[in-house]
Amino acid sequence: MADILLAEDDDNLRFYLCRALERAGHHVISAANGLEAEETLSFHRFDLVLTDVVMPEKGGLELAKIARFHQPDIKVMFITGFSGILMEEKDPSFKSEKVLSKPFHLRDLIDEVNKVIL
């Protein structure tokens, strides 16, 4: 079981992702944008930040940098509606992070999350 911070601006998708991750045995705290997610980093320790790349207020890449500042060993995984996005083009320090392109199957998400947190 992992403690996961989920940042996703689509309300319906955030709801379904939370349910799927919780059914898989993880504890999830969700946020509607990067700014909201950043606030939770101050008082919770997480194993994984699962974040959309493009969100209002603060995007996923900026959130990932802030998460790593607070907790250098935290794992990061990105989800995006932009297929073929390469994180190394946005920031070389995130080139090895997993990126899932929307749409994806919930089973694929769970499998990838479990790989990342091991």
Dump pLDDT digits (tens) for 32-81: 999 999 999 988 999 999 999 888 888 888 999 999 999 999 999 999 88
Winning range, highest mean pLDDT, from 45-49, 82-86, 114-118: 45-49
**Domain tally, the chain:** 1
Contact assessment for residue 94 and residue 64, using Cβ atoms and an 8 Å cutoff: yes
Tokens of 30: 């969700």
**Residues 6 or more apart from 65 whose CB is under 8 A from it?**
91
Q: Which domain holds residue 99?
A: 3-117
What would the two tokens of residue 7 be?
Answer: 């940042």
Is cis: bond before 103, omega within 30 of 0? Answer: yes
What distance, in Å, lies between the first and last C-alpha atoms of the chain?
Answer: 10
Q: Is the pLDDT of residue 5 over 70?
A: yes
DSSP-based three-state secondary structure for 2: coil
pTM higher than 0.85 for the full model? yes
Looking at residue 94, what is its pLDDT?
58
User: For position 64, which CATH number holds?
Assistant: 3.40.50.2300
Question: For all residues of the chain together, what is the average pLDDT?
Answer: 88
Closest CA to 47 of 75, 24, 18: 75
